[in-house]
Amino acid sequence: MNPLVLLAMGWLGVPDSLARSVALTWSHTSHQIKTQFGVSTVTYNNTPQTPLFGPGQGSTTGPILWQLTFVFLEDSAIEAGMDLSELEEPLPQLMFTSVDEEVKLNSSGEAFVDDSNLASPSSMSSNPHEVSAADQRVHTASAVENLQVLALRWERALFSTGGAINFSKSFWFVFHWNWKGGIPYLENPPQSAQLRLTEGSNLNRPVNVPQKSVHDTYRTLGAHISPSGDNRESYKVLLAKAQDYQTKIASSKLPREAALLSYNIYLLSKLGYPLPALTFTEAQCHTLQSPTLLAFLPKIQLNRHIARSIVFGSIKYGGLGLKSLYSIQSIGQLTLFVGHTRAQDKTSSLLHISLSYLQLAVGSSVNVCLLYPSTYKHWIDSCWLVSFWDFLYRVQLTITTTKHWLPKLTCKDDKVLMDHFIALGYPASTLGVLNHCRLYLQIIMLSDIVSADGTCIIQDIFYGLQLIDRHSTLKWLQQQRPPNKDWEVWCSALRILQPRNKLEHPLGPWTTHESHQSWHWFKSSNSLTYSHCDSMDTWTSYKGYPKPRRATRLSALTVLGTESRTPIARPPVNLLPASANFTRCTNLTTITPGPAKPQPIRYQNYTPKVGKQYNKVLLISETDQGKTLNL
């Protein structure tokens, strides 16, 4: 008996006497093999020379014993996350996080009985803008190195429990992105990498595991899938099965009832089984099913050109009641989504995380499942959720989940940028350009790019520059900086909202505290004290100079000197958020305070006070005037 199984039984609280009884029974049991040709006369059993580490296939005790063994495999190779050769340095796991970080999932792979998939990310830190070719090469090399360590530990754990990896059926691949003009393309890594693993007791001659392209298709659990999500090879496989059925049914002499049974029970089950995991369009499903109908309908004494509305129509209304492949795929997707969501399992978390990023990519404050998919899918990457979304809209179904993230308007007269651009009638290509610029700037609403007083768009936004007075707290998609021609389109679109230096319709007061942006600059509502909070939650206080008697163009600005810069432990109360803007012509930074924002900030004594302040602040160093402070 496998000692690890006995240890697991003791770990679960099984009495020692019962565990010993199971071990002795297993050690003295003789096994025979039963097939369609009968039962073998030769037996085999556990011996010191040929120990048996578990029951054979078909044993009723096999699943529970394998489950106990797998727990040890996962704990030792994955969950423990320790590499002894690296001085017990933890191995990184795949970390899936929703946009608002409400749903999180850590994973190092999947396993279905003996089909195991391992995965490892890069150990290098990254941000949404690190998408250059050099960054991608560094992350790819780190990910392959981590996968090497994880796979080696998995092989050792299997060998120690009496198992082994079948290298003839094993492969690996790596996701490597190449950005061109702000658009990512999935490609094979430019550098050659190898994954070499030990095999059993042979430690001196590691085996080279073959590498597959991310665009290759492989068969798993009866479905042909590709890491890139490409369904072309899957379509070819199913089309070959449909054409094979067409040939055989056309030349057969089956009676009407037998032909109907062959179509409903054999063909539709064969073609429909992998469809819920795929993303075929309705036209593709129709093309896939069409040759089978041309050969099948005459067998049931119907014209092969009969209207498909009759063929697929309900029996209640006089139709044949046959199922279309598109309905099988769509209902299967709905069953998977609802089933996993109600089960609250690992797949449910992945679905909620993917749905939040789809919502962020669309850029609307309306639930993405309620939107018209044809408006967005020209500039949204195709995926399983997009296919499911298209089906929901077709049949007018609404799905609402409690964990679904939705952005909210934060000010009176606020606008959702992408909804506004769509309403202006821009073509799909232009909408894609505008969405790339929006994702790079990490913004959703008009209030995200407007000064704190709500009167004008901050000038940095027109040039595609990150704001210095606030940052988004959401998890954003990777987005390379779009080319200059895209920013010209972006600037033209914003000029419709602000044709001159002020918004045509200034924003009103704040209406909610649920904003995804965190502010760095604040002004006290009852004094000329300004406070700055950096990314480390370190606060600094500034005081303004008295205004000059002579009125000049800059006299409306409050001047701050470096000698008034004072670190503070806790910020004052009654603060007003303020927006900062860096002017490159003068190397000066101006600050515009706005009305009180009902936003719970990261300290306890913050009590918003209603009121409006429209002063501007000019930061000038006392020793070197005209230079911006480095904050």
Which one is predicted more confidently, 528 or 346? 346
Contact between 566 and 580 under an 8 Å Cβ cutoff? The reply is: no
Same domain for 112 and 209: yes
Which pLDDT value is given to residue 415?
A: 93
**Which domain covers residue 542, as residue numbers?**
520-619
Angle between helices 282-296 and 232-250 (to 10 degrees): 10
**pLDDT at 559 exceeding the cut of 60:** no
- Residue 191: pLDDT band by 50, 70, 90 thresholds? low
User: Which tens digit of pLDDT belongs to each residue from 1-22?
Assistant: 567 778 878 888 889 898 888 8
User: Given this model, what pLDDT does residue 589 score?
Assistant: 54
Q: Quote the DSSP letter at residue 609.
A: -
- Which pLDDT belongs to residue 592? 67
Residue 382 resides in a domain: no
Does residue 348 or residue 585 have the better pLDDT? 348
pLDDT at 117 over 50: yes
pLDDT over 50 (residue 605)? no
Tokens of 363: 């850029």
Does 99 lie in the same domain as 193? yes
The alpha carbon dihedral of 494, 496, 501, 504 has a sign of negative
Of the candidates 307, 54, 20, the one whose C-alpha atom is nearest the C-alpha of residue 164 is 54
Whether residue 321 has pLDDT greater than 60: yes
> How distant, in Å, are the alpha carbons of 152, 157, 161, 198 from that of 164?
12, 9, 9, 10
524 compared with 379, residue with greater pLDDT: 379
* Angle made by CA atoms 39, 40, 44, in degrees to the nearest 5: 125
**Structure-block tokens of residue 445:** 């609403």
Q: Is 533 helix (H, G, I), strand (E, B) or coil?
A: strand
pLDDT tens per residue across span 420-472: 999 999 999 999 999 999 999 999 999 999 988 888 898 889 989 888 888 89
Is 355 inside a domain boundary? no
Query: Residue 324's pLDDT is what?
Result: 95
Specify the pLDDT at position 603.
35
As given in the structure block, the two tokens for residue 289 are 């099913």
Sign of CA dihedral 324, 326, 327, 328: positive
Can you tell me whether residue 126 is helix, strand or coil?
coil
- Residues 51 and 117 grouped into a single domain: no
Residue 601 pLDDT grade (very low, low, confident, very high; cuts 50, 70, 90): very low
At residue 563 the predicted structure's pLDDT band, cuts being 50, 70 and 90, is: low
Highest mean pLDDT among 36-50, 204-218, 264-278, 521-535: 264-278
**Residue 89 pLDDT exceeds 80:** no
Q: Which of 245-249, 276-280, 547-551 has the lowest mean pLDDT?
A: 547-551
> Which comes out higher in pLDDT, residue 200 or 268?
268
For the chain, give the mean pLDDT. Answer: 82
Choose the final residue of a domain: 309, 330, 351.
330
d(CA 409, CA 367): 14
Question: Does residue 142 have a pLDDT over 70?
Answer: yes
- Position 623 pLDDT exceeds 50: no
pLDDT value of position 61? 75
Of 191, 220, 249, which residue is a domain's last? 220
List the structure tokens of 605. 């004594």
Q: What percent of the chain has pLDDT over 70?
A: 84
Q: Would the pLDDT of 251 be above 70?
A: yes
Question: How many Cα neighbours within 13 Å face the side chain of 261?
Answer: 5
Examine the pLDDT at 586 and tell me if it is beyond 50: no
At residue 220's C-alpha, the angle toward residues 219 and 223, to 5°, is: 70
Residues 241 and 318 in one domain: yes
User: Average pLDDT for residues 324-346, to the nearest whole number?
Assistant: 94
Residue 477 counted as domain residue: yes
User: Can you give the pLDDT at residue 533?
Assistant: 83
Tokens of 386: 């997009």
First to last CA, the chain: 66
607, pLDDT greater than 50:
no
Q: Is residue 359 part of a domain?
A: no
Residue (of 524, 533, 506) closest to 601 by Cα position = 533
pLDDT of residue 486: 94
Distances (CA, A) of 419 to 155, 395, 414, 461, 475: 51, 23, 12, 18, 21
Q: Are residues 92 and 212 in the same domain?
A: yes
The answer to whether residues 286 and 323 touch, using CB atoms and an 8 Å cutoff, is: no
* Whether residues 174 and 241 fall in one domain: no
Q: Is residue 21 part of a domain?
A: yes
Render pLDDT for 284-297 as a digit per residue (tens, 0 to 9).
999 999 999 999 99
* Overall average pLDDT of the 252-263 stretch: 93
Residue 19 resides in a domain: yes
Instruction: Report residue 153's pLDDT band, with 50, 70 and 90 as the boundaries.
Output: confident
> How many other C-beta atoms are found inside a 10 Å radius of the C-beta of residue 346?
13
* Helix, strand, coil % over all residues of the chain, rounded to 5: 40, 20, 45
Instruction: Tell me which amino acid residue 497 is.
Output: L
**Over residues 478-485, mean pLDDT:** 91
Binning pLDDT at 50, 70 and 90, where does residue 627 land? very low
DSSP assigned state of 41: S
Residue 70 host element (H or E): helix 62-74
The answer to whether the beta carbons of residues 441 and 461 sit under 8 Å apart is: yes
pLDDT category of residue 255 using cuts at 50, 70 and 90: very high
Amino acid of residue 554: L
Whether 354 maps to a domain, the answer reads no
Residues 106, 67: one domain?
no
Both 615 and 553 in one domain: the answer is: yes
Please give the pLDDT value at position 87. 37
Point out the domain boundary residue: 67, 82, 97.
82
3-state SS assignment for residue 454: coil
**Segment (H or E) for 137:** helix 133-160
Which amino acid belongs to residue 7? L
Looking at per-residue confidence, does 567 or 582 come out higher?
567
pLDDT band, residue 81 (cuts 50/70/90): very low
Q: Which one-letter amino acid corresponds to residue 613? A: Q
Of 125-134, 300-309, 594-603, give the range with the top mean pLDDT.
300-309
Q: How far is CA 229 from CA 35, 217, 376, 378, in A?
A: 39, 9, 19, 17
At which residue do the structure tokens 């819920």 appear? Answer: 276
Number of domains comprising the chain = 5
420 half-sphere exposure, CB direction, 13 A CA radius = 16
Cite the DSSP H helix spans in 306-442: 308-311, 325-343, 346-362, 373-376, 384-394, 417-423, 428-441
Q: Are 87 and 215 within one domain?
A: yes
194 and 301 share a domain? no
Which candidate, 59, 79, 174, places its Cα nearest to that of 122?
174
pLDDT at 625 over 50: no
Angle, helices 384-394 vs 346-362, to 10°: value is: 80
C-alpha–C-alpha distance, residues 208 and 43, integer Å: 37
Could you identify the residue written with the tokens 């593709």? 284
- Dist. CA 444–CA 470, nearest whole Å: 14
Residue 522 token pair: 């604040």
- With left for phi above 0 and alpha for psi between -120 and 50, is residue 626 left, alpha or beta? left
Q: Is the dihedral of CA 121, 122, 128, 129 positive or negative?
A: negative
Where are the extended beta strands (E) located within 91-245? 94-97, 104-107, 109-112, 115-118, 176-180, 183-187, 195-199, 202-209, 218-220, 223-225
Per-residue pLDDT, 407: 92
Cα radius of gyration rounded to whole Å, the chain: 32
Cβ 143 vs Cβ 118: under 8 Å = no
Nearest to 126 by CA among 480, 481, 470, 478: 478
Q: Does 490 score more than 50 pLDDT?
A: yes
| Predicted pLDDT of residue 621 | 28
Read off the pLDDT of residues 367-377 as tens digits, 9 standing for 90 and up: 998 999 999 98
Higher pLDDT, 629 or 179: 179
Q: What is the number of residues in the chain? A: 631
Of residues 42 and 631, more confidence is placed in: 42
Q: Which residue has the higher pLDDT, 582 or 65?
A: 65
The stretch 504-513 carries a mean pLDDT of 86
Residue 297 has what pLDDT? 94
For the cut 80, the answer to whether the pLDDT of residue 60 exceeds it is no
| Whether residue 101 sits in one domain with residue 178 | yes
Q: How many beta carbons lie within 10 A of that of residue 424, not counting itself? A: 11
Q: Which of 515, 508, 512, 537 is nearest to 595 (CA)?
A: 508
57/33 Cα distance (integer angstroms) = 10
- C-alpha 199 chain-centroid distance: 35
Tokens 């796991």 — which residue?
Answer: 93
| Pair (266, 230) in one structural domain | yes
> Does 625 reside within a domain?
no
**Local structure of 254: helix, strand or coil:** coil
Question: Measured between alpha carbons, how far is 151 from 170 in angstroms, rounded to an integer?
Answer: 11
Cα atoms in the 13 Å half-sphere on the side-chain side of 518: 14
**pTM for the predicted model, two decimal places:** 0.83
Query: Given a cut of 70, is residue 121 above it in pLDDT?
Result: yes
